[in-house]
Amino acid sequence: MAGILNLEQYLELLLGPKGDSAFDSDSHRRTAWHQHRAELLPLVDPGSRPWAWWQYDAPEPVLPREPQLAYLERCQLLSTQERMRLQYAGTYVGSHATRNP
Protein backbone atom coordinates (compact mmCIF):
# COMPACT_ATOMS: atom_id res chain seq x y z
CA MET A 1 0.00 0.00 0.00
CA ALA A 2 1.32 3.41 -0.94
CA GLY A 3 2.05 5.96 1.78
CA ILE A 4 -0.14 8.61 0.14
CA LEU A 5 -3.92 8.67 0.53
CA ASN A 6 -6.32 9.78 -2.14
CA LEU A 7 -9.20 12.07 -1.18
CA GLU A 8 -11.73 9.26 -0.79
CA GLN A 9 -9.41 7.32 1.51
CA TYR A 10 -8.63 10.42 3.54
CA LEU A 11 -12.32 11.16 4.03
CA GLU A 12 -13.13 7.53 4.84
CA LEU A 13 -10.63 7.52 7.68
CA LEU A 14 -12.11 10.75 9.02
CA LEU A 15 -15.83 10.14 8.46
CA GLY A 16 -16.27 6.45 7.74
CA PRO A 17 -17.14 4.60 4.56
CA LYS A 18 -20.03 5.82 2.44
CA GLY A 19 -21.10 2.90 0.28
CA ASP A 20 -18.16 0.99 -1.15
CA SER A 21 -14.89 1.38 0.72
CA ALA A 22 -12.09 3.42 -0.79
CA PHE A 23 -9.69 0.71 0.44
CA ASP A 24 -9.08 -2.78 -0.96
CA SER A 25 -9.68 -4.34 2.46
CA ASP A 26 -10.15 -3.56 6.12
CA SER A 27 -6.53 -4.54 6.62
CA HIS A 28 -5.39 -1.83 4.16
CA ARG A 29 -7.65 0.72 5.84
CA ARG A 30 -6.25 -0.19 9.27
CA THR A 31 -2.69 0.13 7.97
CA ALA A 32 -3.49 3.50 6.39
CA TRP A 33 -4.99 4.70 9.67
CA HIS A 34 -1.89 3.72 11.63
CA GLN A 35 0.35 5.42 9.05
CA HIS A 36 -1.68 8.65 8.92
CA ARG A 37 -3.37 9.04 12.32
CA ALA A 38 -0.91 11.71 13.50
CA GLU A 39 -1.96 13.99 10.64
CA LEU A 40 -5.67 13.12 10.88
CA LEU A 41 -6.25 13.47 14.63
CA PRO A 42 -5.70 17.26 14.72
CA LEU A 43 -8.34 17.72 12.00
CA VAL A 44 -11.26 16.89 14.29
CA ASP A 45 -12.66 19.03 17.09
CA PRO A 46 -11.20 18.62 20.57
CA GLY A 47 -13.18 16.04 22.49
CA SER A 48 -13.85 13.94 19.38
CA ARG A 49 -11.96 11.46 17.24
CA PRO A 50 -11.99 10.43 13.56
CA TRP A 51 -14.09 7.44 12.52
CA ALA A 52 -11.01 5.22 12.13
CA TRP A 53 -9.91 5.96 15.70
CA TRP A 54 -13.19 4.51 16.97
CA GLN A 55 -12.72 1.46 14.78
CA TYR A 56 -9.06 0.71 15.49
CA ASP A 57 -7.83 2.56 18.59
CA ALA A 58 -10.74 2.89 21.04
CA PRO A 59 -9.71 0.90 24.12
CA GLU A 60 -13.24 -0.24 25.04
CA PRO A 61 -16.79 -0.05 23.70
CA VAL A 62 -18.84 3.11 24.04
CA LEU A 63 -21.70 2.87 26.54
CA PRO A 64 -25.23 3.27 25.16
CA ARG A 65 -25.96 6.96 24.43
CA GLU A 66 -22.53 8.00 25.68
CA PRO A 67 -21.27 11.17 23.97
CA GLN A 68 -17.74 11.12 22.57
CA LEU A 69 -16.50 13.67 25.09
CA ALA A 70 -17.90 11.67 28.02
CA TYR A 71 -16.27 8.49 26.70
CA LEU A 72 -12.90 10.18 26.24
CA GLU A 73 -13.12 11.65 29.75
CA ARG A 74 -14.19 8.32 31.29
CA CYS A 75 -11.29 6.51 29.62
CA GLN A 76 -8.89 9.36 30.52
CA LEU A 77 -7.98 9.93 26.87
CA LEU A 78 -8.20 13.72 26.70
CA SER A 79 -4.82 15.39 26.30
CA THR A 80 -3.88 18.45 28.34
CA GLN A 81 -4.05 20.53 25.17
CA GLU A 82 -7.54 19.22 24.42
CA ARG A 83 -8.72 20.02 27.95
CA MET A 84 -7.40 23.55 27.63
CA ARG A 85 -9.08 24.07 24.25
CA LEU A 86 -12.37 22.71 25.60
CA GLN A 87 -12.21 24.88 28.70
CA TYR A 88 -11.49 27.92 26.54
CA ALA A 89 -14.49 27.05 24.36
CA GLY A 90 -16.63 26.56 27.47
CA THR A 91 -17.59 22.97 26.63
CA TYR A 92 -15.54 21.02 29.16
CA VAL A 93 -16.27 20.96 32.85
CA GLY A 94 -14.11 18.03 33.84
CA SER A 95 -14.71 15.23 36.27
CA HIS A 96 -16.04 16.28 39.65
CA ALA A 97 -14.68 13.04 41.08
CA THR A 98 -11.09 14.18 40.64
CA ARG A 99 -11.46 17.88 41.47
CA ASN A 100 -10.13 19.14 44.77
CA PRO A 101 -12.72 20.91 46.94
Residues 6-53: tens digit of each pLDDT: 999 999 999 999 999 999 999 999 999 999 999 999 999 999 999 999
pTM of the shown model: 0.83
Question: What's the rounded Cα separation, in Å, for the pair 33 and 39?
Answer: 10
Task: Write the CA distances from 6 to 22, 51, 56, 61, integer angstroms.
Answer: 9, 17, 20, 30
* Chain mean position to CA 42: 9
Sequence spans of domains, the chain: 7-89
Higher-confidence residue of 97 and 62: namely 62
- In this prediction, residue 89 has a pLDDT band, given cuts at 50, 70 and 90, of confident
